[in-house]
Amino acid sequence: MKKILALLLAAIMVLGAVSAFAEVADLPRNETLYFGGQQWDPVVGYNPLGDNMNNGLALSQAPRGSRTCMFETLYMYNGLDGQLYPLLADGAYTWNDSLTELTLKIKPAAKWSDGTAVTADDVVATWNVSTQIQNGTYTGYAPYIESIENVDGAVVIKAKLNEEGQPANPLQVLNFLTGVYIVQKDWAEGLLAKHNNDATAVRTDPTPDAVYSGPYGPYFANDQLVAFVRNDAYWGQDASMWGKLPAPKYIAHTIYKDNDATLVAFQAGQIDVNQQFIANVQKLWEEQGLPVATYSDEAPYGICATMPTAWYNMDVPVMQVKELRKAIAMAVDYDNIIENAMTNQSPSFVDVPRSVMNPTDGEQAMYDHEAVKDLQWAGKDIEGAKALLDAAGIVDSDGDGWREYNGEKISLKACCPDGWTDWQAAMNMVAEAGKAIGVEIIATFPTWDQYQTVFTKGSQTEYEIFMWSPAGAEPAAPWSRVRAFMSSEFVGVDNNWSGNFGHYKNDRIDEIIKKIPLTTDADELKALYTEATQIYLDEVPSFSLMYRPEVFHAVNETVWTGYPEKDDGNNIPPMDCTDGYGIAALYNLELVK
């Protein structure tokens, strides 16, 4: 009897355990495109107006390319040519002469998932509701956008004016076009009514039944997997947009524990599109013979659009010595960083000399390379760096092998978050450069929590050198990068994620930053950017350590093929088949024969 009871108990436990795992999505492999590296931890919600929904595939709003699988923006940004491609918008936008009003039309074909048409009123409501609940869209664009109105069925965005009556920043208005999801007026107002206009309640409502305009809607989500199913009535199959439906019926993301687990799944072909830094990615095809490809099969394998940068903290008195800043930057062995930390997934600073531009052709053409040639440095110039320090009077007077400033030994910390492999390796090499020129630099790796609170403070003296990336590619770049590198508007601002983390101040650069958005003449613009680069290279408020793709994009062609590749004539950027104009890739996919 006891035995039977025990057996029964065991059987119940086994059944219980099985049923706990029974809830799995039924996703046929040859109809599903699996993503990797975009979703960590379970999805919280689907609210395009909300905060912290932790929904990697559906919700990611950024001017460089919002993820438009579920919700859509007015335009899609393409980092390859720097152009804006209409999505919900119909054709090109127009500015009035004083750059105070931007007008655009909505595509007549555009529909919501409930079948109603997308109208100018929806765009107006998106802005008005955002203003009411003060979400990220509002805080991000309120300094630049006064109001959005429906004028005879067209959307008119009115720019905020500064004291001189000029628009505050037309470039940021462009960022709105590619960066913000448009939501349905009725749905958004219904949501407000449901929560009695309680802003916090609206922002945190997970809204799994949100009305959307994109090609995919929610299908399944638990703590192991999140999946979206194609809306076969998607308006984009109209000839005025894509002319067809995206190829995969489902898009899904398995939630992995960490990078290693993701990589193993990618190698096994369980992930099709992977957004993850893969050290020595070329070995996957060269040595392991896997059907893996990147945008280009030669280094740097992708499109580098941003530059992880070491910032000098001007709040520390010794860092205000220009010669010290330049000497450290000159001594760093960049080739070593690019070859070892980035495993060559970055162009070198010989191929693309440093400036305020990212290495894309479009931006490189925007300043005069010759004019700043004398200010460039190639790196690993130990003797030059030493001479510069000696001339500035920063010498080792007590013979301990380390240089002093005002009689005190210089000791700097070079910081980046723990676990950020390539950055840690880069900081180690900055420390080595310091050793070579007699400046003590200690590579320090605080936890991410600690790091992010310190470096975003309005003023801090804990980290002398630290790493972060300025804005990458977006409609407002490269202006936004000049601003992120040097604008004094961020000095003293707490919780600053926008730029100038080292709190550098320069009046001339502030003028330039103010002037560029209002300049439309190409030559004048080039002169301004050249001057900004000159100041940046001369003053060295920070220095870039490598170039880096905005998103990593590697594909495993076990199931799907037809991904964007260099020189394929499609002009689709390698943005994980989801971001900005990168989503066009979904329409070209086909099954491997």
Partner 1 sequence: MKHTLKNVFHSPRFLVGFIIFMTILLTVLIYPYFVTRDPLQGLGKGFLSPGTYVSVYDANNTGTYRVELPEADDNRLESSLPVKDRQTMLDYLKAMGADVTGLDTSNENFHQLIEVWKANYSDADAKAKKYEGFSTQAKRNELRRLNNRLSTDVSVPMSVTKGEGDSATVSTVATSDYVKVTEVANAITLPLGTDNFGRDTLTELVKATGISLLVGLLAGSIATSLGLLIGLLAGYIGGVVDDILMFICNIFTVIPGFVLLILIYSALGTNSRSITTCAIIIGITSWVWTARSVRSQVISLRNRDHVNLSKLSGHSLGRIVLTDILPYIASYVVMAFILQVSSGILAEAQLSMLGLGPNPNELPTLGLMMNWSKLFGAYTSSNAWWAYFPVILVIALISFSLNLMNTGLDQVFNPTLRD
Q: Which helix (H) or strand (E) holds 15?
A: helix 2-21
The answer for residues whose C-beta is within 8 angstroms of residue 335's C-beta and 6 or more apart is 348, 350, 379, 380
Q: Is residue 462 involved in binding partner 1 (CB under 8 A)? A: no
Phi–psi pair at 11, nearest 5 degrees: -65, -40
Of the candidate residues 445, 452, 456, 527, the single one contacting partner 1 (CB under 8 A): 445
Task: List, as one string, the DSSP characters of 89-117.
Answer: EEEEEEE-TTS-EEEEEE-TT-B-TTSPB
The answer for residues whose C-beta is within 8 angstroms of residue 73's C-beta and 6 or more apart is 61, 66, 87, 88, 177, 178, 179, 180, 181, 182
Q: Closer to partner 1 at the Cβ: 313 or 355? A: 313
Q: Is residue 425 involved in binding partner 1 (CB under 8 A)? A: yes
Are 474 and 360 in contact by the 8 Å Cβ rule? The answer is no
Give the separation between CA 256 and CA 133, rounded to whole angstroms: 34
- 378: number of CA atoms within 13 Å, CB side? 7
Give the separation between CA 284 and CA 543, rounded to whole angstroms: 32
Q: Is residue 248 involved in binding partner 1 (CB under 8 A)? A: no
Q: Is residue 288 involved in binding partner 1 (CB under 8 A)? A: yes
Q: Closer to partner 1 at the Cβ: 204 or 340? A: 340
Of the candidate residues 6, 15, 233, 592, the single one contacting partner 1 (CB under 8 A): 592
Q: Closer to partner 1 at the Cβ: 121 or 565? A: 565
Is the preceding peptide bond at 308 cis, omega within 30 degrees of 0? no
Residue 568 has a CB neighbour count (10 Å cut-off) of 12
State the minimum distance, in angstroms, from the CB of residue 299 to partner 1.
12
Q: Is residue 447 involved in binding partner 1 (CB under 8 A)? A: yes
Q: Closer to partner 1 at the Cβ: 43 or 443? A: 443
Q: Is residue 260 involved in binding partner 1 (CB under 8 A)? A: yes
Sign of the alpha-carbon dihedral angle for 566, 572, 575, 578: negative
Q: Which helix (H) or strand (E) holds 259?
A: helix 259-267
Q: Determine the 3-state secondary structure of 167 from DSSP.
A: strand
Q: Closer to partner 1 at the Cβ: 448 or 497? A: 448
Of the candidate residues 293, 305, 389, 509, the single one contacting partner 1 (CB under 8 A): 293
Contacts to partner 1 from residues 561-580, by CB under 8 A? 561, 563, 565, 568
Of the candidate residues 102, 177, 183, 278, the single one contacting partner 1 (CB under 8 A): 278
Q: Closer to partner 1 at the Cβ: 270 or 488? A: 270
Q: Closer to partner 1 at the Cβ: 133 or 415? A: 415
Tokens of 277: 């830094």
Q: Closer to partner 1 at the Cβ: 100 or 294? A: 294
Q: Is residue 582 involved in binding partner 1 (CB under 8 A)? A: no
State the minimum distance, in angstroms, from the CB of residue 422 to partner 1.
9
Q: Is residue 419 involved in binding partner 1 (CB under 8 A)? A: yes
Write each residue from 367 to 406 as x if it is in contact with partner 1 (CB under 8 A), else as -, in one continuous string. Answer: ----------------------------------------
Report the DSSP beta bridge partners of residue 167.
Answer: 161
State the minimum distance, in angstroms, from the CB of residue 293 to partner 1.
4
Give the separation between CA 227 and CA 472, rounded to whole angstroms: 29
Residue 198 has a CB neighbour count (10 Å cut-off) of 13
Report the DSSP beta bridge partners of residue 226.
Answer: 221, 253
Contacts to partner 1 from residues 333-352, by CB under 8 A? 336, 339-340, 343-344
Q: Is residue 588 involved in binding partner 1 (CB under 8 A)? A: no
State the minimum distance, in angstroms, from the CB of residue 138 to partner 1.
38
Of the candidate residues 443, 509, 545, 589, the single one contacting partner 1 (CB under 8 A): 443
Task: With CA atoms as reference, report the closest residue to 89 among 73, 106, 103, 76.
Answer: 106
State the minimum distance, in angstroms, from the CB of residue 278 to partner 1.
5
Give the separation between CA 287 and CA 391, rounded to whole angstroms: 50
The residue range among 133-141, 314-322, 368-376, 415-423 that interacts with partner 1, by the rule CB under 8 A, is: 415-423
Q: Is residue 220 involved in binding partner 1 (CB under 8 A)? A: no
Are 159 and 144 in contact by the 8 Å Cβ rule? The answer is yes
Q: Closer to partner 1 at the Cβ: 63 or 446? A: 446
Q: Closer to partner 1 at the Cβ: 164 or 287? A: 287
Query: How many residues bind to partner 1 according to rule CB under 8 A?
Result: 45
Strands 590-591 and 225-230 come out as: unpaired
Strands 408-409 and 309-312 come out as: unpaired
Q: Is residue 283 involved in binding partner 1 (CB under 8 A)? A: yes
Helices (H), 33-181: 120-133, 136-141, 170-179
Q: Contact residues for partner 1 (CB under 8 A)?
A: 260, 263-264, 267, 278-281, 283-285, 287-288, 290-293, 297, 336, 339-340, 343-344, 418-419, 421, 424-425, 428, 431-432, 442-447, 555, 557, 561, 563, 565, 568, 592-593
